[in-house]
Amino acid sequence: MKINREKIDIICEKIIEYSLYCLVFFLPASKSMIEICATIATLAWLVKKINNFEQLKTGLRESVFLRITIIISLLLLFPLVVVISSTLSTQHMDLSIATPLSFHTALISSFVAVSVLAIIIMSLRYTQHIKHNLKIPVLLFLDITIITSMFTSQHINISMGAFFFKTLEYLLIFFMMAEVINTRRRLVNILIALSISSFMIGLDGIYQVVTKFDFLRGYPLYAGKMTASFQFSNNLGCYLTSILPIAISFIIQGTTNKKVKVCLIALSILLLACLLFTRARGAWLGFIVGLFFVCLFSGKKALFTAVAFLIILVLFSPAIIKNQFKSFATLSGDTSTEDRIVIWETGGRMFKDRPLLGHGLGTFMNVFSRYKPQNYSWVVYAHNCYLQIIAEAGIVGLLIFLWFAFVLIKDAISKLIKCGDKFLKTFLTGLIGGILAYLVHSFFDTNLYSLPLAVLFWAFAGLAAAKIQSE
């Protein structure tokens, strides 16, 4: 029996491992492949957890705060059964909760969902792959999304869908990355998948500029801006600005052989050119922050080189790029910025109306029309992740997310300073730079609400939290 359990564990871990490689590879090109890879990995992860359920308890020491948080998380599962049952039983045709078939189906579905959540909570409690001080904000983030889905939302079906098919999926990707990508070999494989994928996207972007359509999805240029396989130029900008600091970190630190370094230089030049052609100013600002973080941990020479490089880039860029740089100083006359100001003011009114717990998870667009100016005809996302979080989950939700981001980055920097392995140190420097770039760009767009970009953030967060062995 013991041998069978071990075999099941090995098989499940391999499935998760290769599913994550595929997920990272297909991330910028195919939403359906992201969902397929995430689903396969999740099923294997759950089988592995159930297979080892009796061994979860490892006698780890826990703080009183963590124990209270776990108890609250588990208690929230009981009303969740009622909410899911009543929601599912009234969503299809004329079925009601009094109809036996509808009620039984809803009840079974709710118990399955709650069981999965219970496994996640208990796994997080006893896992040694995620640091103790990161467990509390993760659990509280899970709790606040459940609360805003059940008790503050006026669109419970939308909020429940957003919770189970978005938030929960992202958290599972975070857990799996932290638990499975725990060796140098697996990390290298992730980086290879990321490099090949981003190289393909870079070529796709250049092809799109030349032919006006990309070859992966057939997308045209967006208002003359490069999008590659993404629908909007800002999305491509976020993807590029998150990956570039990793490649640049390896180039500066010199932890690879000459052939790999040449390949990384070529990749960086390609991706940087694409980033410029997105003309996404928020992504440019994020890249500058990420670049300076990488250079800050690489010595004064690297920092001076980065400043000189940026100056040369501004001076010798094509006229269309120069004009976009100049537009930083004239934001008041910029149509895109003026549009965002209207959206942000509307989001501010939404927050003021329900400041504590917001309007409910995933409901921003449904509520937006009630608060927007009468002469504004569009119904859109917030174009600011933090504004959308505070509108949907209130100040409590935003503070919990910022707490998570702060602890994640603080722990990663602490690990970076103490790390004796030069390869891992180089990787962590670039990874933190990429996460910082992502978070800066999130002030200007809704990256955490786009499937590929949300998966990118939580995958990077999982890698930052992972305890990767040197050998």
In a shared domain, residues 188 and 54: no
Does residue 214 belong to any structural domain of this protein? yes
Last-in-domain residue among 19, 39, 58: 58
Where do we find the tokens 């776990």?
70
- Specify the 3-state DSSP secondary structure of 181: coil
Contact 357, 108 (CB under 8 A): no
Question: For position 94, what pLDDT does the model report?
Answer: 40
Contact 107, 101 (CB under 8 A): no
Question: For position 359, what pLDDT does the model report?
Answer: 93
- Specify the 3-state DSSP secondary structure of 183: strand
- Residue 360's nearest CA partner among 149, 167, 161, 165 is 149
Give 293's Cβ-side CA count (13 Å radius): 29
Question: For position 38, what pLDDT does the model report?
Answer: 94
Does residue 4 belong to any structural domain of this protein? yes
Query: Which range in 1-10, 99-108, 312-321, 385-394 is most confidently predicted, on average pLDDT?
Result: 385-394
Does residue 373 belong to any structural domain of this protein? no
Question: For position 347, what pLDDT does the model report?
Answer: 92
Does residue 271 belong to any structural domain of this protein? yes
Cα separation, 26 vs 381, in Å, equals 25
- pLDDT > 70: what percent of the chain? 84
Does residue 142 belong to any structural domain of this protein? no
Residue 460 pLDDT grade (very low, low, confident, very high; cuts 50, 70, 90) = very high
Question: For position 314, what pLDDT does the model report?
Answer: 66
Does residue 68 belong to any structural domain of this protein? no
- Residue 279's nearest CA partner among 229, 317, 330, 329 is 317
The residue type found at 283 is: A
- Specify the 3-state DSSP secondary structure of 213: strand
Cβ-based neighbour number of residue 150 at 10 Å: 21
Q: Under the phi-then-psi rule, with left for phi > 0, alpha for psi from -120 to 50, and beta for the rest, what region is 445?
A: beta
pLDDT tens, residue by residue, 22-37: 999 999 999 999 999 9
What is the DSSP annotation of 347-399?
HHHHHHHSTTT-S-TT-HHHHHHHHS-TT-------SSHHHHHHHHHHHHHHH
Two structure tokens written together for 30: 């195919």
Last-in-domain residue among 58, 74, 97: 58
In a shared domain, residues 52 and 199: no
pLDDT tens, residue by residue, 64-101: 667 777 777 777 776 776 666 566 555 543 434 344 44
What total number of domains does the chain contain? 2
Last-in-domain residue among 58, 74, 106: 58
Two structure tokens written together for 226: 């490069």
Domain region containing 212 = 184-333+380-465
Higher pLDDT pick, 352 / 380: 352
Cα separation, 471 vs 239, in Å, equals 29
* pLDDT, mean of residues 350-370: 91
Cα separation, 440 vs 445, in Å, equals 10
Lowest mean pLDDT among 90-99, 227-236, 303-312: 90-99
Does residue 396 belong to any structural domain of this protein? yes
Does residue 209 belong to any structural domain of this protein? yes
- Residue 241's nearest CA partner among 447, 35, 38 is 447
- Specify the 3-state DSSP secondary structure of 225: strand
